[in-house]
Chain A
């Protein structure tokens, strides 16, 4: 009985709008949800109409959570975003008990379709990811710091703070104004950023050169020892592993250490 009523409320609030004036549509809806007997009678007899207020409440709450996270993407996409929001609710719906994670779930679900949809500009997914990564890194759990030694060496793995990540975009969305009204089209340019949370809990990012991006991905995401990461990164970026690279690497890592994003190396 409760299972059927859960389906009724979920479909009524998340699904396509039910035509309450169509008795057959209502009967089919209740049948699909498994509502029967006195409950189905009460729902048919005005109950569904009264429950429709929850459609408004559920949608307003989820919409508001998304507006907190990706306001610029939503403003730029307008009705197209509304359409994807409705489809997400009807076809997938949030699975997380944490409201702040609904944005991530929606973007993961939308990404394949946005890439195929001519109405969605090519930069939209990059902008949405850039907006949401601020919340993601800002809220990322701080695991107890792993033991680390200060000095880095070629044979050791680097230890970064948990709240950091290398992100890549096809567009320079990080250069856009933080303004919901701005409609500037971002430059199409491969972009890599190192995003991290500072000791003062602010989310900051550094734009990376192609070589630095290759290197930090190997150090941070793949956890390769420094020497191996450097060799692979130079190969991937088509750059000789020379003194300039070694000096540049030392500068980048020292900067990250000074910012508190790089803690040192594994003992």
Chain B
């Protein structure tokens, strides 16, 4: 199992530093397996060494869980091999689609919030769990527009998929915050509506506001103060969980990321030690 506490998204920019440096005070690293599977060379070799020193959790990018067409069997076979190699306790991907028939768009595209989609995603999650031989979790995405007419709210859609599947929830706190800003709701209301005992992991990252006012989940800036606050509020309700700092663009030196991790650790310890904390886990 992955220990609760703070983890960091492993990026190629600091892979060598992690390999050659002293042990880091991190509970785990998270990787996107598509960047390592079905390939040889330096990166998978380096990851294997890191996996021998730190717990690894996998978080995919291109499963396209919500698409009409299921992922190809060859992709799932390769993915299973990679998860076995890394010993990930579960695998997560996004509650979205990124394929349209044969076309792969390489972007997390929003699903219509409706029962038909919730049913299909739940069935897909179960099939994927069988194919991968381990539990799945899905992440709430940032979405910038809803496709078509919604039949339900985002929270109701997430709950519907969770109720229909046995999947865990990877709760991205920054995504909840960004969606709240873009769609005009209080992210605390969304989070409070979710079955928090199903949360297996939390994500935080930075975002950017465009001149148009739209807020993009860029993973290209430090975590914003309101997201720290929302994380603390959330942890008080979920209890201890693995918490991941994501950074994918404008990646600063590792020392800067570790300083952010330290700040997150302070929040994590305060939130999970607070009286009344851990309600969701029943601890």
Contact = CB atoms under 8 A, between A and B. Distances in A.
> Are A and B interaction partners?
yes
Contacts of A197: 40-41
A47 interface: yes
Interface string A1-43: 1110111111001100000000000000000000100110111
A246 B36 CA distance: 42
A14 B145 contact: no
B144 A50 contact: yes
A54 to B, nearest CB: 6
B53 interface: no
A140 B41 contact: yes
B148 A3 contact: no
B12 to A, nearest CB: 11
Query: Could you tell me the dominant secondary structure of chain A's interface residues?
Result: helix
Nearest to B67: A6
A5 B40 contact: no
A93 B43 CA distance: 27
B253 to A, nearest CB: 21
Interface residues of A, number: 45
B65 to A, nearest CB: 12
Interface stretch (B3-11, B106-114, B192-200, B221-229): B106-114
A142 B42 CA distance: 11
A6 B42 contact: no
A95 B120 CA distance: 22
A53 B40 contact: no
A239 interface: no
A114 B102 CA distance: 24
Query: Could you tell me the dominant secondary structure of chain B's interface residues?
Result: loop
Contacts of A10: 100-101, 103, 105
Given A2-B117, A98-B34, A9 B147 contact: yes
A14 B102 CA distance: 13
A98 B32 CA distance: 11
B68 interface: yes
Contacts of A7: 100
Given A43-B148, A53-B145, A58 B106 contact: yes
A47 B104 contact: no
Contacts of A38: 148-149
Given A1-B148, A2-B68, A142 B40 contact: yes
A189 interface: no
A180 to B, nearest CB: 20
A195 to B, nearest CB: 13
A118 to B, nearest CB: 30
Contacts of B146: 42, 47
Contact of A139 (B39, B99, B114, B116): B39
A41 B66 CA distance: 22
A3 B147 contact: no
B45 interface: yes
A54 B109 contact: yes
Interface in B35-57: 38-43, 45
Interface in B92-151: 97, 99-107, 109, 111-112, 114, 116-117, 120, 144-149
A8 B109 CA distance: 11
A14 B103 contact: yes
A138 interface: yes
B149 A9 contact: no
B148 A97 contact: no
B103 A95 contact: yes
A108 to B, nearest CB: 15
A12 to B, nearest CB: 10
B62 interface: yes
Nearest to B117: A2
Nearest to A143: B40
Contacts of B43: 139
B149 A39 contact: yes
17 contacts: A1-B112, A3-B68, A6-B68, A38-B148, A39-B149, A43-B148, A53-B214, A58-B107, A93-B105, A94-B104, A94-B106, A95-B103, A96-B104, A139-B40, A139-B43, A141-B39, A142-B41
Top 10 A-B pairs, shortest CB-CB distance: A39-B148, A50-B145, A142-B40, A10-B100, A201-B42, A6-B100, A38-B149, A97-B62, A93-B103, A139-B39
Given A2-B116, A138-B42, A201-B41, 19 more contacts: A1-B116, A1-B148, A2-B67, A2-B120, A6-B100, A9-B100, A9-B147, A10-B100, A14-B103, A39-B112, A61-B106, A93-B103, A93-B105, A97-B34, A97-B104, A99-B34, A99-B106, A100-B39, A163-B41
Interface of A: 1-3, 5-10, 13-14, 35, 38-39, 41-43, 47, 50-51, 53-54, 57-58, 61-62, 65, 93-100, 102, 138-142, 162-163, 197, 201
